[in-house]
Chain A
Amino acid sequence: MDAYLTDVVVPTMRERFGVEPTVFRDEVSVMVPPERLTEAAQVLRDELGFDALLDITGVDYWPEGQPRFHVVYQFYSYTHNVALRVRVPVEEDAAQVPSLVPLYPSANWYEREVWDMFGIAFEGHPDLRRILMPYDWVGHPLRKDYPLGYEEPQFSFNFDDIERRKPRPRA
Chain B
Amino acid sequence: MLERMEITVDDLRHLVSERALTGETMLLNMGPQHPSTHGVLRLLLELDGEVIVNCVPDIGFLHTGIEKNMEAKNYIQAAVMTDRMDYLNTVGNNLAYALAVEKLLGIDDIPERAQIIRVILAELQRIASHLVWLGTHALDLAAMSVFLYCFREREMILGIFELVAGQRMMTTYIRPGGLWRDVPAEFEAAVRQFIDYFPARIDQYEALLTENPLFLQRVKGIGVLKAEDAIAHGATGPVLRGSGVKYDIRKARPYSGYETYDFDIPVRPEGDVYARYLVRMEEMRQSLKIIRQALDRLPRTQGQPVRTPNRKFVPPPKHEIAHSMEALIHHFKYWTEGFHAPKGAVYAAVESPRGELGFYIEGNGGPKPQRVHARTPSFANLQLLPMMAKGHMVADLVAIIGSIDIVLGDVDR
Instruction: Assess whether B65 is interfacial by the CB under 8 Å rule.
Output: yes
Max chain A C-beta neighbours (<10 A), residue from B3, B11, B383: B383
Instruction: Assess whether A96 is interfacial by the CB under 8 Å rule.
Output: no
Residue of B nearest to A144 (CB): B71
- Chain B 216-260 near chain A by CB (<8 Å), digits 1 or 0: 000000000000000111101000000001010000110000000
Report the minimum CB–CB distance from B123 to chain A (whole Å).
23
Binds B, one of A5-13, A52-60, A154-162: A52-60
- Chain A 11-37 near chain B by CB (<8 Å), digits 1 or 0: 000000000000011010100000000
Chain A interface size range: 35 or more
Q: Is the CB of A108 within 8 A of B2?
A: no
Known contacts A25-B106, A85-B347, A148 near B72 by CB under 8 Å: yes
Report the minimum CB–CB distance from B407 to chain A (whole Å).
15
Report the minimum CB–CB distance from A101 to chain B (whole Å).
11
- List B contacts of A106 (CB < 8 A): 232-234, 380, 383
Report the minimum CB–CB distance from A150 to chain B (whole Å).
10
Q: Is the CB of A168 within 8 A of B1?
A: yes
- Chain B 325-367 near chain A by CB (<8 Å), digits 1 or 0: 0000000000000000000111100000000101010100000
Residue of A nearest to B245 (CB): A78
Residue of A nearest to B236 (CB): A54
> Which residues of chain B from 1 to 32 have any CB-CB distance to chain A below 8 Å in the complex?
1-7, 11, 14-15
- List A contacts of B3 (CB < 8 A): 138
Binds A, one of B114-122, B189-197, B370-378: B370-378
Q: Is the CB of B104 within 8 A of A25?
A: yes
Instruction: Assess whether B396 is interfacial by the CB under 8 Å rule.
Output: no
- List A contacts of B68 (CB < 8 A): 141-142, 146, 148
- List B contacts of A104 (CB < 8 A): 232, 234
> Which residues of chain A from 129 to 145 have any CB-CB distance to chain B below 8 Å in the complex?
129-139, 141-142, 144
Q: Is the CB of A53 within 8 A of B234?
A: yes
Report the minimum CB–CB distance from B309 to chain A (whole Å).
20
Report the minimum CB–CB distance from B149 to chain A (whole Å).
35
Q: Is the CB of B360 within 8 A of A74?
A: yes
Bound complex: CA of A74 vs CA of B253, how far in Å? 15
Q: Is the CB of A135 within 8 A of B344?
A: no
Q: Is the CB of B65 within 8 A of A141?
A: yes
- List B contacts of A72 (CB < 8 A): 345, 360
Report the minimum CB–CB distance from A90 to chain B (whole Å).
14
Q: Is the CB of B383 within 8 A of A127?
A: no
Bound complex: CA of A169 vs CA of B1, how far in Å? 8
Q: Is the CB of B247 within 8 A of A78?
A: yes
Bound complex: CA of A53 vs CA of B356, how far in Å? 12
Bound complex: CA of A126 vs CA of B43, how far in Å? 19
Instruction: Assess whether B201 is interfacial by the CB under 8 Å rule.
Output: no
- List B contacts of A48 (CB < 8 A): none
Known contacts A106-B233, A133-B60, A138 near B2 by CB under 8 Å: yes
Bound complex: CA of A53 vs CA of B253, how far in Å? 17
Instruction: Assess whether B277 is interfacial by the CB under 8 Å rule.
Output: no
Bound complex: CA of A52 vs CA of B377, how far in Å? 14
Report the minimum CB–CB distance from B392 to chain A (whole Å).
20
- List A contacts of B65 (CB < 8 A): 141, 148
Q: Is the CB of A25 within 8 A of B375?
A: no
- List B contacts of A113 (CB < 8 A): 379
Report the minimum CB–CB distance from A64 to chain B (whole Å).
11
Known contacts A85-B345, A168-B2, A136 near B7 by CB under 8 Å: yes
Which residue of the partner chain, among B6, B14, B346, B358, contacts A55 with CB atoms under 8 Å? B358
Which residue of the partner chain, among B63, B103, B236, B356, contacts A132 with CB atoms under 8 Å? B63
Report the minimum CB–CB distance from B125 to chain A (whole Å).
22
Instruction: Assess whether B69 is interfacial by the CB under 8 Å rule.
Output: yes
Which residue of the partner chain, among B6, B14, B233, B245, contacts A127 with CB atoms under 8 Å? B14
Instruction: Assess whether B83 is interfacial by the CB under 8 Å rule.
Output: no
Which residue of the partner chain, among A81, A105, A139, A144, contacts B233 with CB atoms under 8 Å? A105
Q: Is the CB of B5 within 8 A of A136?
A: yes
Q: Is the CB of B233 within 8 A of A55?
A: no
Which residue of the partner chain, among A55, A60, A139, A141, contacts B360 with CB atoms under 8 Å? A55
The 10 closest A-B pairs by CB, nearest first: A106-B234, A132-B60, A55-B375, A57-B373, A24-B344, A132-B63, A59-B371, A138-B2, A106-B233, A135-B7
| A/B interface sample: 30 pairs, CB < 8 A | A25-B104, A27-B347, A29-B345, A51-B231, A53-B234, A54-B358, A54-B375, A57-B360, A57-B371, A57-B375, A59-B362, A59-B371, A74-B347, A74-B358, A104-B232, A104-B234, A105-B383, A106-B380, A108-B383, A109-B380, A109-B382, A129-B7, A132-B412, A132-B413, A134-B60, A139-B2, A141-B65, A148-B65, A171-B1, A171-B2
- Contacts A55-B375, A148-B72 aside, 16 further interface pairs with beta carbons under 8 A come to A25-B103, A54-B356, A74-B375, A104-B232, A106-B232, A106-B233, A106-B234, A109-B379, A131-B60, A132-B412, A133-B60, A133-B63, A136-B6, A141-B68, A142-B67, A168-B1
Q: Which residues of B contact A (CB under 8 A)?
A: 1-7, 11, 14-15, 59-60, 63, 65, 67-69, 71-72, 103-104, 106, 231-234, 236, 245, 247, 252-253, 344-347, 356, 358, 360, 362, 370-371, 373, 375, 379-380, 382-383, 412-413
